Amino acid sequence: FARLLAEYPDTPGLDQQINRYLRQNALALYRESDYDRSLAVLGTLYDRNPNYSGLAGAVDTVSGKIIEARLEEGDYAAARTVLNLLQSQFDQIAAAAIRTWEGRFEQAADRQMAEARQLFARKDYVAAQRAARRAATIWPEAAGPTQLLKEIAREHPQVMVGVFQRTPTEPQRRLHNWSALRTPRLVNPAVANLDGFSPEG
């Protein structure tokens, strides 16, 4: 097909056959559960003929499979990336699917926010913070997570500390790395600790 397009573009029925090939290729990839490649092929078909028969339904089905798989993995950012792809690449035929998925994301974020507010009212600040952050992860445009997180921070201030080495699974006092020195002070404090040497030794 590529050679025909390059050397014999006036071949009768060439465009129709290429579109038919792309549709069959996308269907074969879908049956093999290779949804990402199937959607990519449908994107090529859309670029060639946005009004191709059955294309809108195929895009809706394949993109839905990809989004559902990302949601099952808990990867909301990747699921939103697929939604953004629909908006940018299939804007003429995927408007209904886009609205449907946006509504589902918003509803999921609203449920998380309702849970977060209940936890906050019970003064379970850590769990409320997690729920509010999940809501923001699911749908960054959701109303409320930022404000609630600020309220939680006022009621239950926290300090986050970053370290370069992970905590040992069985913390013991060792001198060979900083995490082994750091962790026992938190989980197994001694009666006295040596912090350093004075000028006298």
- The pLDDT of residue 199 is 83
pTM over 0.75: no
**Confidence band (pLDDT; 50, 70, 90) for 173?**
low
Query: Do residues 83 and 102 touch, judged by C-beta distance below 8 A?
Result: yes
**Confidence band (pLDDT; 50, 70, 90) for 170?**
low
Is residue 64 scored above 80 in pLDDT?
yes
Cα–chain center distance at 71: 8
Quote the percentage of the chain above a pLDDT of 70: 95
- The pLDDT of residue 141 is 84
Q: How many helices (H) and strands (E) does the chain have?
A: 9, 0
C-alpha distances (whole Å) from 15 to each of 10, 53, 152 are 9, 14, 60
Terminal CA-CA length for the chain? 84
71-113 pLDDT per residue, tens: 999 899 899 999 999 999 998 898 989 999 999 999 999 999 9
Q: Which amino acid is at 20?
A: R
Is residue 176 scored above 90 in pLDDT?
no
DSSP state of 123: T
72 token code pair:
């099952």
**Confidence band (pLDDT; 50, 70, 90) for 175?**
low
Kindly tell me the sign of the dihedral angle through the C-alpha atoms of 36, 39, 41, 44.
negative
Q: What is the mean pLDDT of residues 139-158?
A: 90
> Please, what is the average pLDDT of the chain?
88
CB atoms within 10 A of CB 144: 17
Q: What are phi and psi of 57, to 5 degrees?
A: -65, -40
